[in-house]
Amino acid sequence: MIAMPFLVEQVFKLERNSESRRKVYDSAREELVTKLVRPALRVPEAEIAGECRALETAIQKIEADLARKGISRGAKPEDPSIPRISANHPH
């Protein structure tokens, strides 16, 4: 899984810019899936989905923390039940 401290660090630098936070989250999602779908790893699809759900949970926690601090929300989490596997990354 992508290190949550790294994600938190990147997002908190962009606290008030929800569009930039969304881009960081999207990049983290894509990086996670890209790493996990490599044929050499042979990661089961269920495990990929679990890692994607864990990332979405981390994103929700970050956004909740920002909301508690009074920072605007706007970077919406993805549906955690659906891993994002692009057409460029066969599974």
Could you tell me if 75 and 63 are in contact, meaning their C-beta atoms sit under 8 angstroms apart? yes
Res 84: pLDDT: 52
Res 87: pLDDT: 39
Residue type present at position 80:
P
Q: Is pLDDT above 50 for 54? A: yes
CA dist 73 and 12 (Å) reads 13
Query: ∠33-24-27 over CA atoms, to 5°?
Result: 25
Average pLDDT, the chain: 77
Which whole number is the average pLDDT over 62-79?
69
| Confidence bin at 51 (pLDDT 50/70/90) | very high
Q: Is pLDDT above 90 for 73? A: no
Q: Is pLDDT above 70 for 25? A: yes
Question: Which region among 20-24, 56-60, 66-70, 78-82 has the lowest average model confidence (pLDDT)?
Answer: 78-82
CA dihedral of residues 9, 17, 52, 7 (deg, nearest 10): -10
- Positive or negative, the CA dihedral 12, 18, 23, 29 is positive
Q: Greatest CA span in the chain, whole angstroms?
A: 44
Residue type present at position 90:
P
